[in-house]
Structure 1
Amino acid sequence: MQRPLHEDFLLKETNPHLGGGKITGDKLTSTYDLVEQMQYLYASMLEVTVKDKDFVKDDFMGRVLFDLNEVPKRVPPDSPLAPQWYRLEDRKGDKVKGELMLAVWMGTQADEAFPEAWHSDAATVTGTDGLANIRSKGLMPMKTKDSRGTTDAYCVAKYGQKWVRTRTIIDSDKPGGARDSRIGKVRIRLSTLETDRVYTHSYPLLVLHPNGVKKMGEIHLAVRFTCSSLLNMMHMYSQPLLPKMHYIHPLTVSQLDNLRHQATQIVSMRLSRAEPPLRKEIVEYMLDVGSHMWSMRRSKANFFRIMNVFGGLIAVGKWFDQICNWKNPITTVLIHILFIILVLFPELILPTIFLYLFLIGVWYYRWRPRHPPHMDTRLSHAESAHPDELDEEFDTFPTSRPPDIVRMRYDRLRSIAGRIQTVVGDLATQGERLQSLLSWRDPRATALFVLFCLIAAIVLYVTPFQVVALLTGFYVLRHPRFRHKLPSVPLNFFRRLPARTDCML
């Protein structure tokens, strides 16, 4: 029975420390059949274990032992690594099972600047991203033992399909059935990092509880992004995010939800069998499994995000309205001169636009972020969330709250959904009015519009475009004394066009 392709891919990407590997021998024929597990056996020993993964059990295939005192250091930190072939031996070391190509070294790409990183629980993601957990401080106690607060802390790093887990700092023994509690999470987008620059920053570990946001401590990270080819990295911006099949045969929303759930289960099952294991609740926390559930707080945050995106357009509209109403006569006169130049020389329109965008980008360069962004409680509306909204967000599915609370929340949801329904209906009305211009639903309005289009076509055929553009621009920028407070004739005509609201029940 052949395993599915996605499982083979997960097996291949289980451990990023080992990079590319190749094994020769009778039974070891494909890297898709291997799960490489790297673990520290003792303070000075490193073991790389190779197992044959199947549905029944993991058959031990061989291992390679390294004495950390004999492993060379990577000097300088950005020097290329030379992979070597190592003998794959059995547990007793008597028989050779094959060969394994590995590149093993001591240190990270942040060694020169942060030598103390290797005196803590450093988590390093090799390849294009280097991450070092220098230290954590101020961690909140997660449990009590002997009347004192204790914490068994460890870090988990995820980069694409690769997962890394540091060893646990044991402060007390933990029962085997207990769930791992969340201390905090930090997200760093690689595209926000400059190349070959080491970022050191202390990030607050924030967790949202039913009673509000709680700071669980701080974690100090050293991050460095490197790339072997700048051309290849720039070429990635033009590549699609998903494989070709996702665009040729796109999945439905229900299929995506089901696939997301199945992928979470597969990743959780694989990582729970690693050494040290990674529990399911942590995998779900890293993958934001509950982000698709309804949340009043998250809905508010997304609404204000949209308003912030359109804030620039709204600001431009207000600025243009001030120009049209001559709030600053000097600026309005300059806009008239620029408008005349662009109309007389239309070939300058596009170069002027791109030059303006270039100048804006250069101007904002001085305010570029100095550190990678982290969790923003104001953006998430976590500080201003009502306690009942947080309790609803942390409620189970199906709900476990009393009927009166569920009824209250249902009425509140209906009220919010009613406002959203009204906005969506207004947008649909405007679109239907545009369609009714030529649909003859209003015979008189369509006749007027068709006649107007005929006259406009004749006038535009015989009149130079520059003259029409100048007259239109001067009309829009006319002085307030020539304006009326009543809506314009085209706006009145548009608002009187029929929509399909009269056909709805």
Structure 2
Amino acid sequence: MESATKTPQEAFLLKETRPPIGATMKLPGYEGICSYDLVEQMEYIFVHVVKAVDLPTKDASNGNSNLYAEVKLGDYKATTRHVKDVNPQWDQVFAFSKDQVRASIAEVVIKDKTALGDEFIGKLPAFDLNQTPKCNRQIHLAPQWYKLVGIDEDAARGELLLGIWMGTQADKIFPQACHSDAASIAGEYLLPKLWYVRVNVIEAQDLVLSDSHRLPKLQVLAVIGNQTFRTTTSAFKGTNPMWNEDLLFIAAEPFEEHLVLTVEDIGGLGRHEILGRCMIPLQQQERRLDQRPVVSRWFSLSRAGIVDESRRQGRFSSRIHLRICLEGGYHVLSEATNYCSDLKPTGKQLWRAPIGILEVGVISAHGLMPMRKKNNGGRTDAYCVAKYGTKWVRTRTITDSSNPKWNEQHRWEVFDPFTVITIAVFDDYHFHDYGGENDSGMGKVRIRVSTLESGQINRHRYPLLVLHSSGVEMKGEIELVVRFTCTSWINMLQLYSRPLLPKMHYIYPLSVRQLDTLRDIATQIISNRLGKAEPPLRKEIVDYMLDVDLNIWSLRKSMANFLRFMNFLRWFDQIYKWERPFLTIFFHILLTTLLLYPKALPSIIFFSLFLISIWNYRWRRAWHPPHMDSHLSLGDIDDPDDLDEEFDTFPTSQPSYIVKMRYDRLRSKGSRIQAELEEWATIGERFQSLITWADPRATPVFLLFCICTSVLLYFIEFRIIAAILGFYLLRHPWLRIIKFPKSLVNFFTRLPSKDDFMYL
């Protein structure tokens, strides 16, 4: 009911919270637990089913036994995997939330799954949960052997190795445990180490042409995995062509894929004739960390297929001249440049020492919207994914809950403060296999490390905003606790004077087109690797976290960036019009000080900036971390077709009349931007026209003004002139009686510009 009375802008704001995190809460019986000090401590009952020996089964002789253990605590039940052995080894851990278990005993039963049903083998005497020992994360309760009993508590054959204890999510075995309130376990993922592979195709020699009476058109086709690039057609028409072109690829360690080069003749009646081919393993190539030259090598070409180079030594064959190296001095960009979480070069030898530790506690989510239908209501199976640097983490999936609690804490090493951690919430469609749908994103949060104060705990509820064709929609809120701890202030301050990217990006810069193409390739490699992990991070998750569609043109983004620029210029206009009285009065004081102490001009300017910064300290962002602003990004625009156009396919799937309407609207809004750009260009050209004699009458007037001003300033101190002009321009609006443009403004607006050279 409270959220229903709020406006959309108020609902989208951050809310500071005070959760009972571990740093301020002591649980009885859990002394010494401090690794999970940013989240709420949660108690779990852990049951570790290790193995059993000497179990009696009817199908043991023919190997058809299908043994499993069943653990039951009240209404919650968990089963191990089935093992075809009379001495099964399961080694599985189950975690039951103490708050959800409404039972005082724990039961463990061993069964054999047969064609006729589950056959009872034996069970353990019931465990009294009130007598369960409490252990911290450093010392585990060692599993013990227990004799099995029958249904009537009589003796039975076999023993079971089992451990049961009370712990928290700080327990080191917690991430691998199967949870009673979750559909999947948590996971940590290390990104593959990516290298740029530079292939400089120099020339080829002794190519054998099938038709010697025509001039060939020779190209080199280079392939690494799914990456395919071609050189241009050689300008040398013969059997010894030259190209001297660079081809850039991305390869991931371990280098399982080879570089395959094929020399082709594309001029033979539309057919590509293969003149030679070679396969080159990447693992054996030179790894370069700086701009030093790479040694070139000759490789033998085979017409019939791929032949090892060593088998061709001493024999005649076509050859190709190459320079190949693995570039370790670059950072392989796989995410949006504005939201990079890692800026280190590939070569580990170039890494600097970390400057701090970033810790994030994913506490819970609140008010998540139902993502699919369930009986008479809705259902959401939510989990979080966080990415920073080379490590991604995924929380466990909380089933069928609009207010899931994770209370998981993760940490990363920080190498650069100008990096961003991204946390997103997803709905797990694959848990119940809902028609092969993809996991849908429910919103994301970005936090830049440089906006965090060292050692301060930031506890906020962040709104989960998703932009649809119908506008900005709030899917709920996520509660996060973030702490950045600086370990080296000297190294961190030195980073502010260093380039953002490794030096190879500036010595041999890559073009924008190359970066866009290679970023797509890097995203595909990461998606393939993380999709094979368990639990997998599928392609839709990786694309959502890496902002794959961020560079797609949008009219909304164009207008939002244009308004950002105009708002910056409006800051000066606010001072002039007394819309910010404090700053206007401050500039009056500054002018007065300059009038009295003109020699102290540089000192006064920097001291003024110091005072303004001190004044703005109480509104600093550390207390209110920056978050997505729907108004700044124009997500709350009134015209729904603007957003519908942004989510349209490429090429468009809309009918022609809608495309025509959107084109007309684009021309209308584009004319506004065009007019502003034209105005600023005209202002600059009018200043230039004063000294270029573009107007033979205005320039002499300007020269007369210059000579008079120079004489005037020689006899009158500049501080007096500056003070008079300053106070005149900053006078209060009540004193601006005349509304007509001033003479100097009229003179300036009559100056010519290059508009006269423009076509209508």
TM-score range, shorter chain: 0.5 to 0.7
The one of 238, 251, 258 equivalent to 2:517 is 258
The one of 150, 155, 178 equivalent to 2:437 is 178
Q: Indicate how the Cα distance of structure 1 residues 240 and 352 shifts in structure 2: closer, same or farther if over 3 A, else same.
A: same
2:607 is the counterpart of 1:355? yes
User: For residue 365 of structure 1, what is the aligned residue in structure 2?
Assistant: 617
User: For residue 131 of structure 1, what is the aligned residue in structure 2?
Assistant: 360
Distance 2:500 2:735 in 1: 54
SS at match of 1:183: strand
Q: Please list every run of 5 or more consecutive structure 2 residues that lacks an aligned counterpart in the other structure.
A: 1-45, 50-90, 96-134, 140-168, 172-180, 190-353, 401-430
The one of 462, 465, 471 equivalent to 1:203 is 462
User: For residue 489 of structure 1, what is the aligned residue in structure 2?
Assistant: 743
Q: Which moved more, 1:199-208 or 1:143-152?
A: 143-152
Distance 2:611 2:601 in 1: 15
2:645 is the counterpart of 1:386? no
- Measured against aligned partners, the alpha-carbon deviations of 1:194-249 in whole angstroms (never above 9, x if no partner) come to 21122222222222222233222222212111121122222222222122233344
% identical aligned pairs: 52
User: For residue 409 of structure 1, what is the aligned residue in structure 2?
Assistant: 662
The one of 679, 687, 697 equivalent to 1:434 is 687
SS at match of 2:459: strand
Contact 2:594/2:719 (8 A) holds in 1? no
User: For residue 165 of structure 1, what is the aligned residue in structure 2?
Assistant: 394
The one of 620, 626, 630 equivalent to 1:377 is 630
- Measured against aligned partners, the alpha-carbon deviations of 1:94-125 in whole angstroms (never above 9, x if no partner) come to xxxxxxxxxxxx849xxxxxxxxxx9988899
Q: Indicate how the Cα distance of structure 1 residues 137 and 472 shifts in structure 2: closer, same or farther if over 3 A, else same.
A: closer
Distance 1:240 1:44 in 2: 51
Contact 1:124/1:131 (8 A) holds in 2? no
Contact 2:686/2:753 (8 A) holds in 1? yes
Q: Indicate how the Cα distance of structure 1 residues 205 and 388 shifts in structure 2: closer, same or farther if over 3 A, else same.
A: same
User: For residue 138 of structure 2, what is the aligned residue in structure 1?
Assistant: 72
Contact 2:531/2:537 (8 A) holds in 1? yes
Distance 1:381 1:482 in 2: 36
The one of 286, 289, 294 equivalent to 2:548 is 289
Shift of 1:129: 0.8
Shift of 1:147: 6.1
Shift of 1:185: 0.9
Q: Indicate how the Cα distance of structure 1 residues 411 and 366 shifts in structure 2: closer, same or farther if over 3 A, else same.
A: same
User: For residue 50 of structure 1, what is the aligned residue in structure 2?
Assistant: none
Contact 1:123/1:157 (8 A) holds in 2? no
Rg larger in structure: 2
Q: Indicate how the Cα distance of structure 1 residues 321 and 461 shifts in structure 2: closer, same or farther if over 3 A, else same.
A: farther
Q: Please list every run of 5 or more consecutive structure 1 residues that lacks an aligned counterpart in the other structure.
A: 1-41, 46-64, 74-105, 109-118
Contact 1:123/1:133 (8 A) holds in 2? no
The one of 371, 374, 395 equivalent to 2:648 is 395
Q: Which moved more, 1:434-443 or 1:364-373?
A: 364-373
AA aligned opposite 2:751: L
AA aligned opposite 1:143: R
Distance 1:481 1:170 in 2: 68
SS at match of 1:285: helix
Distance 1:419 1:299 in 2: 12
2:485 is the counterpart of 1:231? no
Q: Which has the higher strand share?
A: 2
Distance 2:723 2:368 in 1: 67
Contact 2:576/2:729 (8 A) holds in 1? no
Shift of 1:498: 1.3
Distance 1:488 1:316 in 2: 19
Distance 2:568 2:532 in 1: 44
Contact 1:198/1:222 (8 A) holds in 2? yes
Shift of 1:368: 3.3
Contact 2:456/2:483 (8 A) holds in 1? yes
Contact 2:461/2:479 (8 A) holds in 1? yes
Contact 1:192/1:372 (8 A) holds in 2? yes
Q: Indicate how the Cα distance of structure 1 residues 288 and 145 shifts in structure 2: closer, same or farther if over 3 A, else same.
A: same
Distance 2:460 2:727 in 1: 54
User: For residue 500 of structure 1, what is the aligned residue in structure 2?
Assistant: 754
User: For residue 674 of structure 2, what is the aligned residue in structure 1?
Assistant: 421
Distance 1:347 1:225 in 2: 44
Shift of 1:157: 0.5
Shift of 1:405: 1.0
Shift of 1:395: 0.9
Q: Which has the higher helix share?
A: 1
- Measured against aligned partners, the alpha-carbon deviations of 1:116-147 in whole angstroms (never above 9, x if no partner) come to xxx99888999621111112233223234566
- Measured against aligned partners, the alpha-carbon deviations of 1:39-90 in whole angstroms (never above 9, x if no partner) come to xxx9869xxxxxxxxxxxxxxxxxxx999989638xxxxxxxxxxxxxxxxx
Distance 2:747 2:507 in 1: 43
AA aligned opposite 1:499: S
Q: Indicate how the Cα distance of structure 1 residues 322 and 187 shifts in structure 2: closer, same or farther if over 3 A, else same.
A: closer
Q: Which moved more, 1:214-223 or 1:337-346?
A: 337-346
Contact 2:575/2:581 (8 A) holds in 1? no
AA aligned opposite 1:208: L
Contact 2:685/2:753 (8 A) holds in 1? yes
User: For residue 240 of structure 1, what is the aligned residue in structure 2?
Assistant: 499
Q: Indicate how the Cα distance of structure 1 residues 201 and 449 shifts in structure 2: closer, same or farther if over 3 A, else same.
A: same
AA aligned opposite 1:254: R
The one of 466, 475, 479 equivalent to 1:220 is 479
Contact 1:122/1:134 (8 A) holds in 2? no
AA aligned opposite 1:383: D
User: For residue 86 of structure 1, what is the aligned residue in structure 2?
Assistant: none
SS at match of 2:495: helix
Distance 2:506 2:572 in 1: 31
AA aligned opposite 1:441: A
Distance 2:452 2:746 in 1: 51
User: For residue 379 of structure 2, what is the aligned residue in structure 1?
Assistant: 150
SS at match of 1:443: coil
User: For residue 452 of structure 1, what is the aligned residue in structure 2?
Assistant: 705
Distance 2:580 2:613 in 1: 24
- Measured against aligned partners, the alpha-carbon deviations of 1:258-305 in whole angstroms (never above 9, x if no partner) come to 343333333323322333221222222222222322334333433443
Contact 2:137/2:170 (8 A) holds in 1? no
2:449 is the counterpart of 1:190? yes
Shift of 1:408: 0.8
How many residues are matched?
Answer: 396
Distance 2:579 2:443 in 1: 45
Distance 1:485 1:139 in 2: 56
Distance 2:727 2:367 in 1: 64
- Measured against aligned partners, the alpha-carbon deviations of 1:453-482 in whole angstroms (never above 9, x if no partner) come to 344445444554445545655766789989
Q: Could you say what the CA RMSD is over the residues aligned between the two structures, in angstroms?
A: 4.0
Distance 2:717 2:640 in 1: 65
AA aligned opposite 1:134: I
Contact 1:123/1:131 (8 A) holds in 2? no
Contact 2:188/2:392 (8 A) holds in 1? no
Shift of 1:345: 1.8
Q: Indicate how the Cα distance of structure 1 residues 224 and 471 shifts in structure 2: closer, same or farther if over 3 A, else same.
A: closer
Q: Indicate how the Cα distance of structure 1 residues 196 and 107 shifts in structure 2: closer, same or farther if over 3 A, else same.
A: farther
